[in-house]
C-alpha cells in the first residue's frame, strides 16, 4: 500500500513469516493427530469434557467471528448505511473465523471420518447437533457473501450485481442462525450443574454468551481495522470506529448488568466476596475486568473513544476477556470437580495457533488482492467486458494473474523464504508431538482390582477397578434375583475359568483400558502329563499356530461355563479392557428396559449408575464415588 512506511512493511513481513511458521507446524501436528490419534497430540483427560481446540478455536473463535452477524444486523435490519465501509471486512472476518473454527473441530472430533454423520443422522435433542448445523450453515452463508467480492476482480460484473441483488434473504438467514448457535453454545455448559463452578454455571448462559459474543465481534472489527490501517498506511475513519466502539460499550454494559443480576438472583456473591471465595474468584475477577469493566470505562468517555491507542487497549482487553470467559467456562471451571488440572500439550498449542495463523495468511491474501475495505466506486457502471479500475492508495495492490507474476511470487525471494521456513519447521514440529506419535506406542498399564463387598453377604459390590474413586455401587444380589436366580449367572458371567461357574469379570478383563490375552500358552504346555505336549492341541502335520490349533471346546466342553456359546460366536482369546467390558455388559441390558413407563429416568441413562453430584471431591457421600 502506498502510504505504508518501511517499518510498517518490515513488521508486516515478519508477522507473515511467523504465521507461515505456525501454519506449517500446525499442519505437521495435524497430520500426526490423524495418523496417531488424540492421545499422541493432546493432554486431554477423561475427567474433563473439553479440550483446547474445542473451547479456544471453536467456542471462542465463533464468538470472535460474530462481527459479520452484528454488522449485517446493523446495516440490513437497522438500515444504518454509514457502517457499510466495514461490511466487507466483517464478512471476511466471519468467513475466516467460522472456517477456522470448523477446521479445528475436525481435529478435535475423536472420529473425524464420521464428521458427515450429523448431515444424515439427525439428533434434534442434542445441543451439539444444533451447533454443528448453525455454524456450518452460517459459514456457508459468509462464503456466499464473499463471492461478489471475489468475482468483481474477474470482470464478472453482471454476476456480481446479481449476487448483490439476491443477498438479502441469505443475510437474514445468517443473522438468525448466528443468534441461535451462540445461545446453543452457552447451553452446552448448562448440562453440567454439579461439575462446572458456580461462578460460571448459570441458566442464563445462553443470553450471556450471545451478548458477550456481540461485544467481542465489534472489538475485533475495531482491532483489525486499526491494525490494517497501520500496516498498509491507510486512513482511519474514526467516526465509524468511534460509533462501533460506543455500540460495543453499550452491549458490554448490558452484559455486565446481566451478570450482576445473575450473581444476585442466584445468591453467588459469596463466591466473589464471601467465605466461598477461592483462586477461581481471582480468575473470574480478571476476566470481568478485561471483558467488560475496562472496555466500558474507556469507550464511554468520548475523548478516549476518539484516540487510536485507547481504542486498541479497549479492543484488546475485550478480546482477551472474551477468550478468558470461554476458557474458564469450558475448561478452568471444571478443575475443582475433576480433581485434576488440564494443561494442553505443546502440540495442542501449535495446532490451535496454526489454524489461526493459516486464517491470518488467507486474510492478508484477500486484503492485498481484493477490495475488502471499500467497494470500487464505479463497479455498478461497467459491463463484463470493461473492468473497473481497482488500484490506488486505498485499493488492493496489483493482483498477479499471469504466469510470470506467479513465478515471481512462488520462486522469488518470498517463495524461497516460505520454502526455507517449511524445511526448518517440519522436524521441530514433529518433535513437539508426544512420545506416542514419535516412538513406539506403550499403553500405560492399569491393573484391575476385585470389587469391594459393601456388606458381609456381598449383596452389594463397589466396582472401582482402578481405585480412582470413580466407583459404582452394584446391587449384585438384587440383579441375580430379578434375572432368575443362580441359573441367570451365565447372563453376566458369560465365560468362566475351568471348574468355576461364575468367574469374576476382573479375572479376564485384567486391565482398565487395553486388551488382555486370557489364554496361558505356557501353562497349557506344563499341564500335559507326558509325551509331546504340543501334539495335544496341534496337528503335527500342520504349522503350529492359533489358526491350526484344536478348538478349546474340545477339551473344555464340560468344565468351562459359557464356552460353548462363545465357540458358536467365534471364540476370541483377547478380553477387552475392563471399562469397555463393564459398559458393554451393563448398557446393553439396561437399554432393553429404558422405555419402562415406571422408570421415567430410563434404565439406559448414565445417571442410573453414575448419580450426579457424587463425583465431586467436596461430596460428603460415598468417598467421592461417581
Structural domains of the chain ordered from first start: 6-438 (1.20.1630.10), 452-518+573-624 (3.90.10.10)
- SS3 category, 7: helix
Using an 8 Å Cβ cutoff, are 384 and 62 in contact? no
- SS3 category, 466: coil
Q: What is the pLDDT of residue 563?
A: 79
Using an 8 Å Cβ cutoff, are 148 and 170 in contact? no
> Length of the chain in residues, anyone?
626
Number of Cβ atoms within 10 Å of the Cβ of 515: 16
Buried b (16+ CB within 10 A) or exposed e, 532-565: eeeeebbeeeeeeeeeebeebeeebeeebbbbee
The C-alpha cell of 95 is what?
468467513
Task: Count Cα neighbours of 398 within 13 Å in the Cβ-side half-sphere.
Answer: 6
Using an 8 Å Cβ cutoff, are 465 and 578 in contact? yes
Q: What is the pLDDT of residue 281?
A: 93
Using an 8 Å Cβ cutoff, are 319 and 216 in contact? yes
Nearest Cα neighbor of 111 from 33, 21, 167 is 33
Q: What is the pLDDT of residue 617?
A: 37
State the Cα–Cα distance between residues 179 and 173, nearest whole angstrom: 10
Q: What is the pLDDT of residue 395?
A: 43
How far, in Å, are 71, 179, 253 from residue 214 at the CA level? 10, 10, 12
The C-alpha cell of 514 is what?
487395553
Cell numbers 483446547 label which residue? 52
State the Cα–Cα distance between residues 552 and 66, nearest whole angstrom: 64
| Ranges of residues in the chain whose predicted pLDDT is under 70 | 1-5, 69, 77-79, 127, 174-175, 177-182, 374-416, 435-442, 528-532, 567-571, 594-605, 607, 611-626
Cell numbers 501353562 label which residue? 523
State the Cα–Cα distance between residues 537 and 524, nearest whole angstrom: 9
- SS3 category, 368: helix
Q: Where are the alpha helices (DSSP H) in 266-387?
A: 279-288, 294-299, 302-305, 308-330, 335-338, 346-369
In 3-state terms the chain splits into helix, strand, coil percentages (rounded to 5) of 65, 5, 35
State the Cα–Cα distance between residues 558 and 553, nearest whole angstrom: 9
Nearest Cα neighbor of 225 from 411, 17, 85 is 85
Q: Which residues contact 518 (CB under 8 A, 6 or more apart)?
A: 508, 573, 574, 575
Sign of the Cα torsion 208, 209, 211, 215 reads positive
Nearest Cα neighbor of 224 from 363, 98, 106 is 363
Q: How far is residue 126 CA from its own chain's centroid?
A: 16
E strand or H helix at 474 = strand 472-474
Q: What is the distance between the terminal CA atoms of the chain, rounded to a whole angstrom?
A: 61
State the Cα–Cα distance between residues 262 and 209, nearest whole angstrom: 13
The C-alpha cell of 67 is what?
462481527
* pTM of the shown model: 0.69
Q: What is the pLDDT of residue 361?
A: 92
Number of Cβ atoms within 10 Å of the Cβ of 488: 14
E strand or H helix at 166 = helix 157-188
Q: What is the pLDDT of residue 306?
A: 87
Using an 8 Å Cβ cutoff, are 212 and 291 in contact? yes
State the Cα–Cα distance between residues 413 and 243, nearest whole angstrom: 42
Q: 87-108 and 127-151 helices cross at what angle (nearest 10)?
A: 140
Span 593-619, pLDDT tens digits: 766 666 655 666 676 777 654 443 333
For residue 447, what is the DSSP state?
A: B
Number of Cβ atoms within 10 Å of the Cβ of 47: 17
State the Cα–Cα distance between residues 357 and 352, nearest whole angstrom: 9
Q: What is the pLDDT of residue 411?
A: 53
Q: What is the pLDDT of residue 50?
A: 86
Using an 8 Å Cβ cutoff, are 378 and 388 in contact? yes
Nearest Cα neighbor of 177 from 274, 268, 65 is 65
438: phi then psi, degrees, rounded to nearest 5 = -85, -15
Q: Which residues contact 517 (CB under 8 A, 6 or more apart)?
A: 573, 574, 575
Using an 8 Å Cβ cutoff, are 434 and 442 in contact? no
Buried b (16+ CB within 10 A) or exposed e, 577-615: bbbebbeebbbeebeeeeeeeeeeeebbeeebbebeebb
Span 232-261, pLDDT tens digits: 888 888 888 988 999 999 999 999 999 999
How far, in Å, are 461, 492, 603 from residue 489 at the CA level? 15, 6, 20
Amino acid at each position: 500500500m502506498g502510504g505504508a512506511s518501511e517499518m510498517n512493511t518490515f513488521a508486516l513481513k515478519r508477522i507473515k513469516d511467523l504465521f507461515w511458521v505456525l501454519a506449517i507446524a500446525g499442519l505437521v501436528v495435524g497430520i500426526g493427530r490423524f495418523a496417531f490419534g488424540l492421545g499422541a497430540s493432546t493432554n486431554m483427560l477423561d475427567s474433563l469434557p473439553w479440550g483446547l481446540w474445542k473451547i479456544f478455536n471453536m467456542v471462542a473463535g465463533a464468538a470472535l467471528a460474530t462481527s459479520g452477524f452484528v454488522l449485517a444486523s446493523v446495516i440490513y435490519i437497522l438500515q444504518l448505511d454509514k457502517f457499510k465501509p466495514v461490511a466487507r471486512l466483517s464478512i471476511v472476518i466471519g468467513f475466516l473465523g467460522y472456517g477456522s473454527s470448523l477446521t479445528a473441530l475436525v481435529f478435535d472430533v475423536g472420529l473425524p471420518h464420521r464428521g458427515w454423520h450429523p448431515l444424515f443422522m439427525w439428533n434434534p435433542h442434542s445441543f451439539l447437533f444444533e451447533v454443528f448445523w448453525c455454524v456450518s450453515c452460517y459459514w456457508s452463508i459468509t462464503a456466499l457473501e464473499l463471492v461478489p467480492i471475489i468475482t468483481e476482480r474477474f470482470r464478472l460484473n453482471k454476476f456480481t450485481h446479481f449476487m448483490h441483488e439476491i443477498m438479502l434473504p441469505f443475510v437474514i438467514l445468517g443473522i438468525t442462525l448466528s443468534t441461535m448457535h451462540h445461545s446453543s453454545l452457552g447451553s452446552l455448559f448448562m448440562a453440567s450443574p454439579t461439575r462446572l463452578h458456580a461462578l460460571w454455571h448459570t441458566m442464563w448462559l445462553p443470553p450471556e454468551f450471545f451478548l458477550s459474543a456481540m461485544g467481542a465481534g465489534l472489538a475485533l472489527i475495531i482491532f483489525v481495522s486499526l491494525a490494517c490501517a497501520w500496516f498498509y498506511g491507510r486512513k482511519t475513519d474514526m467516526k465509524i470506529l468511534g460509533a462501533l466502539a460506543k455500540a460495543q460499550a453499550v452491549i458490554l454494559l448490558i452484559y455486565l448488568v446481566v451478570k450482576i443480576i445473575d450473581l444476585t438472583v442466584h445468591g453467588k456473591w459469596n463466591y466473589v466476596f464471601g467465605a466461598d471465595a477461592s483462586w477461581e474468584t481471582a480468575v473470574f475477577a480478571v476476566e470481568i475486568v478485561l471483558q467488560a469493566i475496562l472496555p466500558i470505562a474507556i469507550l464511554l468517555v468520548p475523548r478516549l473513544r476518539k484516540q487510536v491507542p485507547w481504542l486498541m487497549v479497549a479492543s484488546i482487553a475485550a478480546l482477551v476477556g472474551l477468550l478468558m470467559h470461554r476458557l474458564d467456562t469450558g475448561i478452568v471451571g471444571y478443575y475443582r470437580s475433576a480433581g485434576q488440572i488440564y494443561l494442553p500439550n505443546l502440540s495442542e498449542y501449535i495446532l490451535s495457533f496454526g489454524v489461526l495463523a493459516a486464517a491470518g495468511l488467507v486474510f492478508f491474501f484477500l486484503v492485498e488482492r481484493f477490495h475488502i475495505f471499500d467497494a470500487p466506486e464505479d463497479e455498478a457502471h461497467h459491463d463484463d467486458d470493461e473492468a473497473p479500475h481497482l488500484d490506488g492508495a486505498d485499493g488492493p495492490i496489483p493482483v498477479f494473474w499471469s504466469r510470470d507474476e506467479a513465478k515471481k511470487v512462488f520462486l522469488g525471494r518470498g517463495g524461497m523464504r516460505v520454502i526455507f521456513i517449511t524445511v526448518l519447521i517440519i522436524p521441530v514440529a514433529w518433535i513437539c508431538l508426544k512420545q506416542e506419535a514419535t516412538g513406539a506406542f506403550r499403553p500405560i498399564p492399569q491393573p484391575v482390582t476385585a470389587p469391594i463387598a459393601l456388606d458381609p453377604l456381598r449383596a452389594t459390590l463397589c466396582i472401582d477397578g482402578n481405585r480412582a474413586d470413580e466407583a459404582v455401587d452394584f446391587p449384585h444380589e438384587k440383579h441375580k434375583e430379578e434375572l432368575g436366580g443362580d441359573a441367570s449367572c451365565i447372563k453376566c458371567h458369560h465365560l468362566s475359568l475351568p471348574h468355576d461357574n461364575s468367574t469374576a469379570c476382573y479375572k479376564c478383563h485384567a486391565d482398565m483400558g487395553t486388551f488382555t490375552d486370557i489364554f496361558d500358552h505356557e501353562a497349557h504346555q506344563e499341564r500335559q502329563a507326558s509325551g509331546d505336549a504340543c501334539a495335544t492341541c496341534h496337528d503335527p502335520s500342520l504349522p503350529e499356530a492359533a489358526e491350526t490349533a484344536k478348538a478349546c471346546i474340545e477339551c473344555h466342553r464340560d468344565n468351562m461355563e459359557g464356552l460353548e456359546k462363545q465357540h458358536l460366536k467365534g471364540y476370541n482369546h483377547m478380553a477387552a479392557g475392563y471399562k469397555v467390558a463393564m459398559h458393554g455388559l451393563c448398557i446393553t441390558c439396561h437399554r432393553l428396559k429404558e422405555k419402562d413407563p415406571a422408570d421415567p429416568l430410563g434404565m439406559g441413562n448414565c445417571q442410573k449408575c453414575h448419580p450426579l453430584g457424587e463425583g465431586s471431591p467436596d461430596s460428603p457421600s460415598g468417598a467421592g464415588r461417581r
